[in-house]
């Protein structure tokens, strides 16, 4: 039988026969009154039953005999309205105390149909209001929770956007993103790969940003993983790649390869074109809810904008700081670095040397083989410099076929050895252009300053230039060292 076919349940607590009969007669067959005797009032079993009475009729004489603990138990039954029945010979009860006990109404004996029906009507009306209030309260609580979650999401996105736009270096943005994204999900590391597709060759040059401190094996796994992502997302082969580092992201990231957790590879898009991929490594147990996925996608959109701007800034800065042909630093960058290194030399009393290199008879190369061949020679020599010298050494194109190389922590003897090594390397290299082989040589001037010298940067360059001029005078293809400036002595 469906619940709608059953009579509505009412309870009576110790009602006498007259009271019970009157209630049943007044309400008709749509209600069923279950009357408990005074000695067997509802206990825990009845109170736990899923079907609750809509109203309970309780004579005042029965209520007064109950213990306070028993009364408290019945008061907790909020879904049931209680109606108090007062005998005609009993003293009128205080209405305020009746309301405090949770009674809906007081009905005096003798009971009549109108009294019973009116009391039950009020009980059902209050129950309906109570249900409406309960539903409204639930809706308000749910709306507040949704509003709270949306506020948290907006605050999170604002944090991501603010932190990303404050930085101009790609590695810094990725490192900060690793910290910010931990507010949303358990992130172990954040890394990235970016690419630039050559329109003619349909090949991509990739820039891979990995966490610092990775062991070679883990670094190799991540590199392969990212190259595969570039192929898949760009639809091209990877012609070459360069490895860079993010800012430190914690020791935990150093231990995990792509199989060490759940990897989320999220494409980065700008102006409708994919230019990179954000690689997040999370705990294997992570499961994202729909709102978390939406928030993560919004965060990645913010990061896409910041990372694209950072990449453009890097390109512009590189064009401003470097020579367009050889990709080593330009004259302006050298002048700035020279002044900086000389200040460091004077502050920390360290050795400092400078090589000035000129390719011998370079005009003959251009005149004989053409300017394209000349450009090829300059690029080849620049790569030789990068292979030969340390990363702390500063290589720049000084102008035309002249290069300068700044050597911190290097004395005159060491600088001469390095100069002779690169001179021999250039001399032994066979250049090939349009199936024609030829060779070039270089003259090198060396100057140095000893610790404690107060030389100006222009004087160090001038002495290297003088040494270079002497090397050319002596027949070219040789190294000449200008005597280093002695330490100043106060007598």
- β-bridge pairing 81-86 and 55-59: parallel
Whether 68 is catalytic: no
The catalytic residue among 207, 341, 401, 416 is: 401
Instruction: Give the integer Cα–Cα distance in Å for 477 and 423.
Output: 7
Give the contacts of 11 (CB within 8 A, at least 6 positions apart). Answer: 33, 34, 35, 36, 42, 53, 55, 56, 57, 80
Instruction: Give the integer Cα–Cα distance in Å for 296 and 153.
Output: 10
Query: What are the structure tokens assigned to 254, written together?
Result: 């150093």
Which of 39, 40, 42 lies closest to 10 in space, CA to CA?
A: 42
Torsion of CA 134, 139, 145, 147, to 10 degrees: -140
- β-bridge pairing 8-13 and 31-36: parallel
Instruction: Give the integer Cα–Cα distance in Å for 265 and 246.
Output: 17
Q: 253-259: list long-range contacts, CB under 8 Å, 24+ apart.
A: 253/178, 253/188, 253/189, 253/211, 253/281, 254/211, 254/213, 254/214, 254/215, 254/218, 255/218, 256/188, 256/189, 256/218, 256/281, 257/217, 257/218, 257/221, 257/222, 258/221, 258/222, 258/225, 259/221
Give the contacts of 225 (CB within 8 A, at least 6 positions apart). Answer: 258, 263, 279
**Segment holding 389, helix H or strand E:** none
Describe the strand order of the beta sheet including 187-197 as a list of residue ranges: 237-245, 203-210, 187-197, 273-282, 262-270
The answer to whether the beta carbons of residues 354 and 418 sit under 8 Å apart is no
How many CB atoms neighbour CB 296 within 10 A? Answer: 19
Output Rg (C-alpha) for the chain, integer angstroms: 44
DSSP 8-class letter at 486: P
The answer to whether the beta carbons of residues 445 and 482 sit under 8 Å apart is yes
Phi then psi for residue 103, to 5 deg, are -80, 140
How many CB atoms neighbour CB 287 within 10 A? Answer: 8
**Segment holding 166, helix H or strand E:** none
- 120 HSE (CA, 13 A, CB side): 25
- β-bridge pairing 187-197 and 103-108: unpaired
- β-bridge pairing 273-282 and 479-481: unpaired
The residues assigned a catalytic role are 401
């Amino acid at each position: 039988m469906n619940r709608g076919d059953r009579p509505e349940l009412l309870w009576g607590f110790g009602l006498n026969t007259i009271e019970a009969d009157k209630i049943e007669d007044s309400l008709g067959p749509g209600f069923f009154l279950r009357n408990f005797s005074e000695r067997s009032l509802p206990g825990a079993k009845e109170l736990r039953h899923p079907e609750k009475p809509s109203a309970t009729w309780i004579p005042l004489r029965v209520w007064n005999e109950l213990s306070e603990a028993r009364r408290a138990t019945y008061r907790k039954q909020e879904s049931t309205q209680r109606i108090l029945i007062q005998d005609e010979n009993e003293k009128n009860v205080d209405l305020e105390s009746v309301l405090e006990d949770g009674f809906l109404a007081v009905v005096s004996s003798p009971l009549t149909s109108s009294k019973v029906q009116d009391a039950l009507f009020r009980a059902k009306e209050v129950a309906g209001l109570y249900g409406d209030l309960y539903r409204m309260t639930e809706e308000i609580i749910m709306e507040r929770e949704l509003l709270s979650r949306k506020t948290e999401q907006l605050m999170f996105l604002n944090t991501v956007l603010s932190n990303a736009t404050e930085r101009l270096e790609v590695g810094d943005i990725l490192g900060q993103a690793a910290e910010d994204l931990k507010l949303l999900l358990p992130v172990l590391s954040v890394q990235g790969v970016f690419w630039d597709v050559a329109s003619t060759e349909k090949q991509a040059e990739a820039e891979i940003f990995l966490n610092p401190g990775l062991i070679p094996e883990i670094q190799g796994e991540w590199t392969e993983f990212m190259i595969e992502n570039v192929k898949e997302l760009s639809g091209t082969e990877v012609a070459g790649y360069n490895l860079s580092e993010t800012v430190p992201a914690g020791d935990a990231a150093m231990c995990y390869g792509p199989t060490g957790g759940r990897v989320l590879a999220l494409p980065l898009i700008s102006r409708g074109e994919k230019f990179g991929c954000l690689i997040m490594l999370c705990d294997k147990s992570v499961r994202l809810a729909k709102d978390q996925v939406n928030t993560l996608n919004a965060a990645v959109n913010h990061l896409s904008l910041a990372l694209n701007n950072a990449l453009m800034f890097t390109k512009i800065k590189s064009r401003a700081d470097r020579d367009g042909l050889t990709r080593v630093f330009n004259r302006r960058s050298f002048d700035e670095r020279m002044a900086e290194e000389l200040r460091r030399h004077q502050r920390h009393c360290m050795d400092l040397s400078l090589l000035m290199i000129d390719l011998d008879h370079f005009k003959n190369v251009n005149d004989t083989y053409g300017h394209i061949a000349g450009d090829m020679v300059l690029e080849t020599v620049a790569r030789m410099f990068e292979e030969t010298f340390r990363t702390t050494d500063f290589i720049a194109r000084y102008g035309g076929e002249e290069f300068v190389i700044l050597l911190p922590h290097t004395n005159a003897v060491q600088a001469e050895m390095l100069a002779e090594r690169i001179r021999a390397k250039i001399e032994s290299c066979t250049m090939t252009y349009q199936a024609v082989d030829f060779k070039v040589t270089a003259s090198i001037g060396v100057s140095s300053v000893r610790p404690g010298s107060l030389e100006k940067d222009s004087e160090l360059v001038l002495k290297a230039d003088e040494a270079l001029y002497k090397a050319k005078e002596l027949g070219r293809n040789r190294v000449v060292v200008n005597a280093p400036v002695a330490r100043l002595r106060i007598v």
